[in-house]
Structure 1
Amino acid sequence: MENRATLLIMLLILCHGVSITMGLWGIQTENKENGPHSEHEKLFLLQNSKRLVKTDAGEMSVLHGYGGRISERPLHVGFITMGPSSLFVPQYLDSTLILFVSSGEAKVGFIYDDELAESELKKGDVYQIPAGSTFYLSNTGDSQTLQIVCSIDPSESLGVGIFQSFYIGGGSDPVSVLSGFHPRILEAAFNVSGVELGRFFTRRHDGPIVHVGDSHAKASSLWTKFLQLREDEKLHHMKKMMQDQDEEEEKDEEEEKQKTSWSWRKLLESVFSNEMQKKADHDTHKSPHSCNLYDRKPDFENSYGSSVALDGSDYSPLKSSGVGIYHVNLKPGSMMTPHVNPRATEYGVVMKGSGRIQILFPNGSNAMDTEIKEGDVFFVPRYFPFCQIASSNEQLDFFGFTTSSKKNRPQFLVGSSSLMKTMMGPELAAAFGVSEDTMKNILNAQHEAVILPTPWTKSEQQSHDNKEAFFKILPNIETIMT
């Protein structure tokens, strides 16, 4: 009787523990009405996109990452789209950005070691902008749209929304951080009249992303010319603007043009003067380098796909941000075998194609099993088993960030190089309640590692082989028919 009572108590405790585990994640158990896909099937898809900037020249939107119980450290994923010859005006953020150029070409300039550092970025490049660094971003292409995916680390943010922008340049939209100072303070700081400053701080009204082509505003064209100069030319241009200031005394339109140009010169001087002077004294100064993800040799590659990762040992700026980067390409019907990230939470963006992702809870129950397509963003908490599968008729190409700049070393649960294969022995066999020979037969059946074929892959390959065979014998058929 005592044994039964004890067993009953243990059973109640076990059931209570399972219910608490499920409750921590806000999950309800499946029932027949919900079918195989319960209401939490999209639990790990980031779906609440927030548009932060929208202008005629471009836009920026952000997907909010999760922290707390689900992830030890949230990362936000941002998307920047900029039209040809456009500029994201100078600003600084309370969050670190890691940029990944998914298409187009860009120029990024920011204050680095008290100097103006500029870098040309191309497709596949990765670049870091530390929190608090004043920077600008421009699309250097005349006809191509610039698209950037970025990670946003909110750990240093002020806690106001997703992150906070502090614009250097601006007018009524965006508002410059300088515009809030008392007029007399600004007059003294710039050494110009209040009338001139009034014009200066009210001209810009078309948002943070602006056109800088010749067909747009005169103030924007000034930025266009300035941004197109080499760094040594910028210094020369600044000095020339200062010399020309004393000589230009024209009236009406020429006078207005002079005042506008002089005001721009004052702002540039106040922000970049020390940097420009140091640039003249230290011509050998090098700006932070970028790292191209697509130029790297894959860490793993076989007939079914490839994967590559960047960590702090590959690209040193990642060390300070504590973020890693990866890219995976799965061929049609192929699968990234079930695995676990032991060191980091993973955020993924589907760049091309479609497929499926399944994520499991630590207790082995289904957390999410859903289709993913181009543009979807998912995240996988640290320690949670998961796998991705490409659709049978198209590839699945995804890029993403991890919350650690150390080598992630994912643990693959299945495959010829899996941890189960490494641990194969009497202990593992006993854990499954089978003989060691049975265990070996099961684990040795799979000859591929990391990225595996599936029945869809095989059927696609069979279809391809049948087509090739048909076209080979087609001339013979035509001969017979003739």
Structure 2
Amino acid sequence: MGNRLTLLIMLLILCHGVSMTMGLWGIETEDIENASHSKPKKMFLLQNSKRLVKTDAGEMSVLQSYGGRVSERQLHIGFITMEPNSLFVPQYLDSTLILFVRSGEAKVGFIYHDKLAERELKNGDVYQIPAGSTFFLSNIGDGQTLHIICSIDPSESLGVGIFQSFYIGGGSNPVSVLSGFHPHILEAAFNVSGAELGRFFTRRHDGPIVHVGDSHAKASSLWTKFLQLKEDEKLHHMKKMMQDQDEEQENNDGEVKQKTSWSWRKLLETVLRNEIPKKKSDHVTHHSPHSCNLYDRKPDFKNSYGSSVTVDGSDYSPLKSSGVGIYHVNLKPGSMMTPHVNPRATEYGVVVKGSGRIQILFPNGSNAMDTQIKEGDVFFVPRYFAFCQIASENEPLDFFGFTTSSKKNKSQFLVGASSLMKTMMGPELAAAFGVSEDTMQNILNAQHEAVILPTSWTKHEHED
């Protein structure tokens, strides 16, 4: 009796939280009352897409989050596509990125504790790049296009667009963040002549994502050689690369100029805040943050109809600083994730394979959104709102996503063998529905599956 009363109180508190959240999302009472009488809009699908980068070597686009007068934390969802042998040039952002490798292989390098850390990422890997950390991203897959989904936290942004990139490498396109300093300041900082710096800051003109490799060697030899080096060799060879390019420029101009001694150690220390040791230091990369692979983890739940896995800050420590969780759900054809609520966080989901349907309810039980979803669609579900996902009859529904909390976001399932209602079953719940306790028990005991359930067209197939 005591346990049932406690659960009933929790349910009432949950309903109160939902009512408060409606106002925060800018949902008016009259809109809720009229929702069942009008066709629901796709208000919880992210559709405001903006392309931020587009070159021959790749592109990046972002779906912007929204939500009326929302006070709940929001996340933008980004998509990065990079062609084989390409590089996203060194930069730092005013927002934390959490990368998920949907397909392909990547190498990410960024400054960690004033050292250059590099990690190779494969399909299913998750990796975090903190705001303000200088990084580069390269496609190292053999002939494969790299596809990355990422979360972008706008709470850290300067408010200039979706987020602000500060490019370290660059020329006329992208423009290096250093290029605007007065020439005298740059000459003193680099200990290099103004003429040499002028050529240095005007070479790059083909965008933030560039080709590297033999087919584009002339245009991007600097980055190609840089990525091929081991960590302790990069500093030494960068000096030689620029000397070679200086000779090429001198030959083209028909002039012979005295070579300047470039201080590449000073360049990296000043720009990247990195002190590269004279000898190889394997411990730098060894102690840098590791990646986490969603596909290698044991599912939190699995049955004949699908599986789900979540990763929070206790599973992958870098998530603690970002306050973001991640998850992956696979529903087999015709299966359904039973109606549930997230009591701790808003959920963002990206359909990575297949198709299906999602329904989200307003707190009064009326329909907020009931729509078909397919590969590439992005949905979000506000905290406390009840919802469910259903795979199409003939194909699975596979989706990956982020939550706005790195703490354990234990979903509350409303229906099923392990549901909140099943746990609360008793005279109080029966009275709430106006039925006898026996009727209540018969209804709640009819479902033997939990969390992921069969629908009418798949149930008999599994029983045969």
Structure 2 length as normaliser, TM-score?
Answer: 0.87
1:354-369 pair list within 5 angstroms = 354-369=355-370
C-alpha distance in structure 1 between counterparts of 2:122 and 2:353, whole Å: 19
Give the aligned length: 440
Q: Distance in 2 between matches of 1:77 and 1:65?
A: 8
SS at match of 1:276: coil
1:252 aligns with 2:254: no
Letter matched to residue 343 of structure 2: P
Structure 1 contact 25–70 (Cα < 8 Å) conserved: no
> Is the contact made by 2:32 and 2:364 (CA closer than 8 Å) also made in structure 1?
no
Q: 1:67, 1:73 within 8 Å by CA — same for their partners in 2?
A: no
Which of these two proteins has the greater Rg computed from alpha carbons?
Answer: 1
SS in 2 for 1:162: coil
**Counterparts of 1:264 and 1:210, CA distance in 2:** 22
* Match of residue 27 from structure 2: 25
Is 1:300 aligned with 2:291?
no
1 CA distance for matches of 2:216 and 2:52? 23
Partners of 2:25 and 2:310 in 1: CA distance: 34
Which residue type is aligned with residue 306 of structure 1? Answer: S
Aligned partner of 1:156 in structure 2 is 156
> Contact 1:172–1:202 (CA<8 Å) still a contact in 2?
yes
Rounded Cα–Cα distance in structure 1 between residues aligned with 2:271 and 2:399: 39
Matched-pair identity in %: 83
Checking the alignment, whether the CA contact within 8 Å between 1:308 and 1:326 is kept in structure 2 is yes
Q: Distance in 1 between matches of 2:431 and 2:261?
A: 80
Where does residue 6 of structure 1 map in the other structure? none
Question: Could you tell me how far apart the structure 1 residues matched to 2:308 and 2:449 are?
Answer: 15
Q: Is the 8 A contact 2:217 2:224 kept in 1?
A: no
| Correspondence for 2:64 | 64
Shift in Å at residue 150 of structure 1?
0.2
- Secondary structure of the equivalent of 2:283? coil
Q: In the alignment, which residue of structure 2 is the partner of 1:284?
A: 283
Give deviations 1:4-62, integer Å, cap 9, x for gaps: xxxxxxxxxxxxx99x969932674687xx99761x43010000100000000000000
Deviation at 1:72, TM superposition (A): 0.3
- Kept in 1, the 8 Å contact 2:46–2:380? The answer is yes
Question: Greater CA deviation, 451-460 or 423-432?
Answer: 451-460
Counterpart of 2:7 in structure 1 is none
Q: Does 1:453 align with 2:458?
A: no
Paired AA for residue 351 in structure 1: V
The aligned counterpart of 1:123 is 123
Which residue in the other structure is 2:216 paired with? 216
Alignment of 1:136 with 2:136, yes or no, is: yes
Counterpart for residue 47 of structure 1: 47
CA distance in 1, matches of 2:125, 2:204: 31
Conserved 8 A contact 1:91-1:166: yes
Name the aligned partner's letter for residue 398 of structure 1. Answer: F
C-alpha spacing 1:258/1:404, structure 2 compared with 1 (3 Å): farther
With 318-327 and 212-221 compared, the bigger mean Cα shift is at 212-221
- SS across alignment from 1:216: helix
Secondary structure in 1 aligned to 2:372? strand
Per-residue deviation at 1:194? Answer: 1.7
Question: In 2 relative to 1, CA 265–23 (structure 1 residues): closer, same or farther, beyond 3 Å?
Answer: closer
C-alpha contact 1:200 1:263 (8 A) present in aligned 2: no
Q: Which residue of 1 aligns with 2:445?
A: 444
Cα distance change on mapping 1:35 and 1:281 into 2, 3 Å: closer
Amino acid corresponding to residue 25 of structure 1 in structure 2: I
- The verdict on how the C-alpha distance between 1:227 and 1:257 changes in structure 2, with shifts beyond 3 A counting, is farther
Per-residue deviation, 1:271: 3.2
Match of 1:228 in 2: 228
Structure 2 residue ranges without an equivalent (≥5): 1-18
The answer to whether the aligner puts 1:89 opposite 2:86 as a matched pair is no
Alignment of 1:34-433 (within 5 A): 38=39, 40-67=40-67, 69-70=69-70, 72-218=72-218, 220-235=220-235, 237=237, 252=251, 267-268=267-268, 270-272=270-272, 274-277=274-277, 280=279, 283-285=282-284, 286-433=287-434
Q: 1:181 to 1:43 in 2, by over 3 A?
A: same
CA RMSD of superposed structures (Å): 3.1
After TM superposition, give the deviation of residue 200 of structure 1 in Å.
1.3
CA deviation after TM superposition for structure 1 residue 275, in Å: 2.7
Q: TM-score, normalised by structure 1?
A: 0.84
Q: In the aligned structure 2, how far is the partner of 1:128 from the partner of 1:23?
A: 29
Aligned-pair CA distance for 1:267 = 4.2
- Give, in angstroms, the shift of residue 282 of structure 1: 5.2
CA 1:63/1:387 → structure 2, altered by over 3 Å: closer, same or farther?
same
Which stretch shifts more, 21-30 or 191-200? 21-30
CA distance in 2, matches of 1:76, 1:45: 12
| Unpaired stretches in structure 1, ≥5 consecutive residues | 1-16, 466-482
* Shift in Å, 1:284: 2.1
